[in-house]
Amino acid sequence: MKNHEIFFKRIIEVAILLIILRLFYLQIYKGDFYQDLAQRNYMKSVILPAPRGIIYDRNGVILAENKIKYSLYLIPPYKYEREKVKRLSNVIKMKDKDIEKIYNKISPFYPAVLLKNNLDIKEILLLEENREDLPPFSINIEFERYYPFGSLASHVIGYMGEVSKEELEDEESDYSLGEKSGKYGVEAFYEKYLRGKKGFRGILLHASNTENITVGQKDPVPGESLILSLDLNIQKVAEDALGEERGCVIVSRADTGEVLSMASHPAFDPNKFITGFTKEEWNNLINDINKPLNNKAISALYPPGSIFKLIVALSALENKKISPNDTFYCPGEFYLGGYSYKCWKKGGHRRINFVDGIAQSCNVVFYNVGLRVGEDQIFKYAKDFMLDSKVGIDLPGEVKGFIPSKEWKVKTFKEPWYPGDTVNLSIGQGFVLVTPLEIHAMMSMLATEGILVKPHVLKGIVTENGIEEVRPEIIKEVKINKSIWEILKEGMKKVVEEGTGIAVKFPGVEIFGKTGTAENPHGESHAWFSSFFRVNDVPYVVTVFVEHGKSGGGRAALIARKIIEYMIKGGKNIE
């Protein structure tokens, strides 16, 4: 045999051997993999989203619901055919370049890919009439979130948005590309209850790609509906009373922790996160200096001003550094170390006792009291009454306030704590910062004489077995002598009946309150008013905060009066 014949024979033998090895690799070693891949080529599933749970207020008014919509999904095989894509783009009025970009991102293993939401009837008819000339698709009946009251209570209810990359990569969450999840408020905090469980529809794809047959379906499980503690009527009154002021209002029951109203202004319309923003609208929203997406009640820090005097009063009384009959002379200013510290009232309050010092919010009285009791005890009582802690409300975004310390000042400013720092601390100025919710929690503890029931916005979850109600949870308890509570309440009652909060005075009802005017280096002073009272023997707490409101006894107290008046007159409807 000639050499070249032997050479070609060896080549053929090697080729045959390679083919045998390749067949072994494909059919034996990787057989299961390719069998699964082949199965995927003709058996695909379309996700059937679960109807999201409905959100109600405490009286059964719907705050968030679902509207039916028709959505267009691309389904396998994902073969990009220019002419078919061009026809599809004409039908759904979508640029073929945008559709091409979606094809470029599609993995062969995607069960279905959302192409367009909210198809109209004309688009649906044209799609069905031209199905054979278009890429493989499925039209799904789905649900779109809808908020019937727009911006009302938007910071509590929240909004939805497309799932993030992190959510998609979380296998336990089981999210799909293009799906929406709760991003803020109750929608986010209770996402796992609201979202339900997805179903699917199996689709058998014939080799010719001319016919798809549904071979199986698993129905989705609807999400659980939620009943909030919010009272939509009180929420409307609170938001109307707040008007165009930048600030917030919180109304709750001190005995159960149920939040009846939480208003923050400016607000936003959560429906826009579903229907979509124009570029200009989005830029205006996120660049707005008033921060409409920020819930001022739980996510913003402010100096507390004179409301903090209640902490100073408690610490002084409990440590026996003051008695209700002690008197002070207020000439309108207080001198310490060569510095002058002003009272808010020009000319001063003259001779005034401690209880009236609370009622009239006299700065000079509290300069003296603060120095008597000392900064360490003020720090302690501020923390005891939750002014340096998150209260754990069931909403995302809560931040905690800041109560300074001597060690902190040395570390931060490289200087000791001076008596002048204590003077400023005594009237809620200087370094101390709080959230309106922390002030509200403090006032709730005053209403219950030292007990804080955890504030919450969820009242119950609707399950197959009925309504699973949220049980009140005591998260803090401070023991204070009963006589001290009486002294403090006497001063707080006088605040409303004859002092700085007289705008809230209401005939026949005992209202205990405190105003606050907090100096602001960036403009007009901030205004506070917080109070508690009883209607049908139920203890309610109302807190109002107004940015640049100038006076707690002015704007903040007038807003509080409108809310309290409604609750007193309609009290039987809010239990």
Residue 442: Cβ within 10 Å count: 29
Asked if residue 421 and residue 408 are part of one domain, the reply reads yes
101 inside domain: yes
Contact 142, 70 (CB under 8 A): yes
Do both 122 and 240 map to the same domain?
Answer: no
**What is the enclosing helix (H) or strand (E) of 304?**
none
242 in any annotated domain = yes
Which of 294-325 are b and which e, b meaning 16 or more Cβ less than 10 Å from the residue's Cβ? bbbbbbbbbbbbbbbbbbbbbbbbbeebbebe
Quote the pLDDT of residue 226: 98
Q: Are residues 215 and 239 in the same domain?
A: no
Q: What is the DSSP letter of 456?
A: B
25 in a domain, yes or no? no
Residue 267 sits in the same domain as residue 376: yes
Residue 419 falls inside a structural domain:
yes
Name residues whose C-beta falls within 8 Å of residue 213's C-beta, 6 or more positions apart in sequence.
203, 204, 206
Asked if residue 12 is part of any domain, the answer here is no
- Per-residue pLDDT in tens (0 to 9) along the chain, 575 residues: 556 566 556 667 666 766 666 666 556 665 565 555 454 444 556 677 788 999 999 999 999 999 988 888 888 777 788 888 898 888 898 888 888 888 887 776 666 788 888 888 899 999 888 888 888 888 887 788 999 999 999 999 999 998 888 888 887 778 877 788 999 999 999 999 999 888 876 665 554 444 555 566 778 889 999 999 999 999 999 999 999 999 999 999 999 999 999 999 999 999 999 888 888 888 888 888 889 999 999 999 999 999 999 999 999 999 999 998 899 999 999 999 888 999 989 999 999 999 999 999 999 999 999 999 999 999 999 999 999 999 999 999 999 999 999 999 999 999 999 999 999 999 999 999 999 999 999 999 999 999 999 999 999 999 888 899 999 999 999 999 999 999 999 999 999 999 999 999 998 899 999 999 988 777 788 999 999 999 999 999 999 999 998 888 889 999 999 999 999 987 544 55
pLDDT given at position 48: 75
What residue spans of 172-244 are helical by DSSP H? 185-189, 191-194, 232-242
The pTM of this model reads: 0.84
Q: How does DSSP classify residue 533?
A: E
CATH classification of the domain holding 529: 3.40.710.10
Q: How far is residue 262's CA from residue 270's CA, in Å, rounded to a whole number?
A: 16
Q: Are 210 and 338 in the same domain?
A: no
**Nearest CA among 245, 300, 344, 156 for reference residue 560:** 245
**Does residue 520 form part of some domain?**
yes
Q: Residues 154, 197: one domain?
A: yes
**Same structural domain, 401 and 432:** yes
Per-residue confidence (pLDDT) for residue 22, from 0 to 100: 64
pLDDT, tens digit, 9 for 90 and up, residues 531-542 = 999 999 999 999
Q: What residues form DSSP beta bridges with 250?
A: 262, 543
In CATH, what number is assigned to the domain containing residue 88?
Answer: 3.90.1310.10
* 247 and 365, same domain (yes or no): yes
Q: Are residues 223 and 237 in the same domain?
A: no
462 - beta bridge partners? 225, 467
Are 133 and 242 part of one and the same domain?
A: no
Q: Is residue 11 part of a domain?
A: no
- Per-residue burial over 449-460, b if 16 or more Cβ lie within 10 Å, else e, is bbebbbbbbbbb
Structural domain ending residue among the three candidates 228, 245, 265? 228
Tell me, what's the pLDDT at 215? 60
Residue type, 51: P
**198 shares its domain with 81:** yes
Using CA atoms, how far apart are residues 336 and 302, in angstroms rounded to an integer? 26
Nearest C-alpha neighbor of 387 from the set 309, 319, 316, 317: 309
**Which pLDDT score, from 0 to 100, does residue 34 have?**
52
Q: Mark which of 205, 228, 251 sits at the end of a domain.
A: 228
Q: Distance (Å, rounded) from C-alpha 266 to C-alpha 291?
A: 7
15 inside domain: no
Query: Do 150 and 187 share a domain, yes or no?
Result: yes
Question: Where is the domain boundary, 213, 228, 243?
Answer: 228
* Segments forming the whole domain that contains residue 84: 44-228
> 498: which DSSP letter?
T
Q: What's the number of domains the chain is made of?
A: 2
pLDDT on residue 408? 96
**In the prediction, which pLDDT does 50 show?**
84
